[in-house]
Chains A and B, each alone.
Chain A
Amino acid sequence: MSISNQSLAKYKLVFLGDQAVGKTSIITRFMYDKFDSTYQATIGIDFLSKTMYLEDRTVRLQLWDTAGQERFRSLIPSYIRDSSVAVIVYDVTNRTSFLNVTRWVQEVRVERGGDVNIFLVGNKTDLLDKRQVSLEESDAHARELGVHFIETSAKAGFNIKALFRRIGASLPGSDAGRGEDAANGANGGGPATVQLEAKAKPAAASACSC
């Protein structure tokens, strides 16, 4: 299978966010269209890859799932920090996980500057009566941070496809374009991005050592 994938443009996606917000669940829903409340817990880092068919081309997504616990943060290798897309997940029923989003965004920007698409994802919308973070507040916060935003429920399968469609549309067309489709993909991603938010702007383009 690796032979047929050889020619596809590859994109690295890293999933970040606090512990137990549902990073693995979102990936599992996307990969296998299933949900299981008893996963083997992620220790450190996990890897999955999937071919995705976009409107005008086919790409290979490399998904890196990270452990959410605070103490793992400094161990996330720069290889993964160096991703095209950072998906930062919080739990809409856990206010702390939402407040920590700012720090995750900052973490990614320190590493990558503005050279990365950041998606803010509020997961667990199926838990209606436990919600602690409103859609409006998150939307406003995402605008403030200059990142894309969507709410999902991995359990109910809500908006997971939409999330990855948006991610696909945001991918730089020529970035990793060693493949045959690189030519027609140039800048193809930009305009299709859902304009919930203006294009991500780095935090006051100050001294970024990356």
Chain B
Amino acid sequence: MAAADEAAQDLYGFPLPPGAAVEAAVGAPRGGRELPPEPELKELVRGGVPPPLRGWVWTEASGAAARRAAQSPSYFAGMAAAGQAAAAPHAAAIAADARCAFPAHPWLRSDEGQAALRRVCAAFAAHNPRVGYTRPLSQIVALLLVALNRNQARWENAFWLLVQLVEATLLEGTYSQNLAGCAVEMRALEALIAAKLPRLAAHMAALEADVSLFAMDWFLSLFAASLPSETAARVWDALLLEGPKILFRVALALLKSNEDALLSNGSAGELTLAARAAAAGAHDRDALMRVAFEGVGGLPMAVIERARGQGSREVEAEARERDAARSGSAGGAVSPRHVPQQHSGELRELRERAGVLTAVAASGVRKGVGALVSAARKAAGGGPDKRAGGEGAVPGALAP
């Protein structure tokens, strides 16, 4: 009942408006160290994992425990040291962002919280140099740390959960150098809004309100900074087992539950603020998740994959257009010597990624729940995690 007495904070120590319900802490973890079988597990996570069990269920169900078991016990410490070396490429950005990840949270603001944030983010940047570091990662790490009880022994689990999220759970390229994966998810969400919420889609089109205006941080920070923390943790319960379809379900649920308010806005900016406010005010976790799982209706992965396929083709075409426009304007008044980085490499990468994404979408490569659970099982038995790869994992880094 830790936080129940302090009316101003939620379970995880984030400030809370008066009257919002606080998650009741449930007793100690069960003795058993085996997750229930898949159908039951899915039902359980959709109903919400009791907060004290989150560290265990998240790491097991996501496959993060398997990843951890496949590496040497000193792997995290080694990566953290490498990532925090003075010359490490992202050290300065990580330190700067750590300060503003959640400035209102007392522990995250404390020396220990700052050290934890920096350590986990730096370890990840060293582990996966292709992704390196980008701002939303620190927000994810922040919520992971507080949900894992801030305990120093669990910082390492926050690291492996982040690795699993970026390299296996989320769409490949979500955090790439041009966030191409996120761009594809935005297109896919746009298509799903058109299918599920046609009135809102028409309204957004009339206002020229691009879905990424409000949904980009939902998909990059996984709602960590958008929803109240306990609601975000509840979303992660399902996300870590079932994958990014949960992000679509929750996004659609937020929009559906607030459709009238969103339809009454007269500009893209107001609509953006209304969508953000809807997320920030979603303290009733049960109500939101009920809409996400029931109110939104069927959302088979095949539908999402089709939307992604279309989306990646659009992203690719736009990149080509922009590339052409850029080369068309080259040689103008803008002197090339001032241009610090070449666009062409970036765009080539975007195209490559889009190509990969199309292939991914076509083959429906996203692993099912069964694979997740069996991988977790395998890990419990000491087997290697075969689902390595994902986004730019360092060759060899995942090998035992």
Residues of A within 8 A of B (CB): 2, 6, 10, 19-20, 38-41, 43-45, 47-49, 62, 64, 67, 69-75, 77-80, 96, 99-100, 102-103, 105-106, 109-111, 144-146, 201-204, 206-210
Q: Is the CB of B216 within 8 A of A43?
A: yes
Give per-residue flags for B151-194: 1 if the beta carbon is below 8 A from chain A beta carbons, else 0.
00000000000000000000000011111101100100000000
Summarize A's interface: helix, strand, loop or mixed: mixed
Nearest neighbor of A20 in chain B, beta-carbon distance: B96
List residues of chain B with CB within 8 A of the CB of A47: 213, 269, 272-273
Query: Which residue of A74, A77, A100 is within 8 Å of B319 (Cβ)?
Result: A74
A141, closest chain B residue (CB): B338
Most buried by A among B134, B178, B220, B338: B338
A71 to B176, CA, bound (A): 8
Contact present for B266 and A2 (CB under 8 Å): yes
Contact A77 B273 (CB under 8 A): no
17 inter-chain pairs at a CB distance below 8 angstroms, sorted by A residue, are A43-B220, A43-B221, A47-B272, A71-B178, A74-B180, A75-B178, A79-B208, A79-B210, A103-B340, A103-B341, A106-B329, A110-B322, A145-B333, A204-B329, A206-B332, A208-B325, A209-B325
What 9 additional pairs, Cβ within 8 angstroms, besides A74-B178, A109-B332, A111-B325?
A: A19-B93, A40-B103, A47-B273, A62-B267, A71-B178, A75-B182, A77-B210, A103-B338, A202-B332
- Determine the residue in chain A with the shortest Cβ distance to B101: A41
Contacts of B93 in A (CB 8 A): 19
Q: How far is the CB of B117 from chain A (nearest CB, A)?
A: 12
* Number of chain B residues whose Cβ lies closer than 8 Å to a Cβ of chain A: 59
Specify which chain A residues have a CB less than 8 angstroms from the CB of B217 in the assembled complex: 43-44
Contact: B220 with A206, CB < 8 Å?
no
A77: chain B residues at CB < 8 Å are 210, 212-213
Say yes or no: A71-B179 contact (C-beta < 8 A), given A43-B216, A77-B212, A79-B208: yes
Q: Which of B317-356 contact A (CB under 8 A)?
A: 319, 321-322, 324-326, 328-329, 331-335, 338-341, 346, 350
B286 at the interface (CB under 8 A from A): no
In the bound complex, residues from chain B placing their C-beta under 8 Å from that of A206 are: 328-329, 331-332
Instruction: Indicate which residue in A75, A100, A102, A202 contacts B179 across the interface (CB closer than 8 Å).
Output: A75
Question: Are the CB atoms of A41 and B135 closer together than 8 Å?
Answer: yes
Q: Give the nearest-CB partner of B103 in chain A.
A: A38
Given contacts A38-B99, A75-B179, A204-B332, are A69 and B135 in contact (CB under 8 A)? Answer: yes
Chain A residue at smallest Cβ distance from B346? A74
The 7 closest A-B pairs by CB, nearest first: A203-B332, A102-B338, A204-B332, A207-B328, A44-B216, A77-B210, A43-B217
Q: Known contacts being A43-B217, A206-B328, is A70 close to B97, with CB within 8 Å?
A: no
Smallest CB–CB gap between B216 and chain A, Å?
A: 4
B107 located at the interface, meaning its Cβ lies under 8 Å from any Cβ of chain A in the complex: no
Output the least CB separation between A75 and chain B (Å). 5
**Selected contact of A209 from candidates B179, B328, B340, CB within 8 Å:** B328
Chain B contacts of A6 at CB under 8 A?
Answer: 266
In the bound complex, what is the Cα–Cα distance between A38 and B265 (angstroms)? 31
Q: Is B56 an interface residue (CB 8 A)?
A: no
Across-interface contacts of A44 in B (CB, < 8 A): 212, 216-217, 220
Chain A neighbourhood of B186, CB < 8 A: 75
Residues of chain A lying within 8 A (CB to CB) of residue B296: none
Within the complex, the shortest CB–CB distance from B191 to chain A, in Å, comes to 16
Distance between Cα atoms of A44 and B179 in the complex (Å): 11
Mark contacts of B8-42 with chain A using CB atoms, 8 A cut-off: 1 yes-contact digit, 0 otherwise: 00000000000000000000000000000000000
Decide if B59 is an interface residue (CB 8 Å cutoff).
no
Least Cβ distance of B321 to chain A in Å? 7
Chain A residues lying within 8 Å of B265, measured Cβ to Cβ, are 2
| Residues from chain B with Cβ under 8 Å of A204 in the complex | 329, 331-333
Q: A102-B339, A103-B339, A110-B325 are in contact. Are A62 and B269 (CB under 8 A)?
A: yes
Cβ of B104 to closest chain A Cβ, rounded Å: 8
Please pick, from B97, B99, B334, the residue contacting A102 in the complex, using a CB distance under 8 A: B334
Indicate which residue in A2, A62, A80, A110 contacts B326 across the interface (CB closer than 8 Å).
A110
Decide if B225 is an interface residue (CB 8 Å cutoff). yes
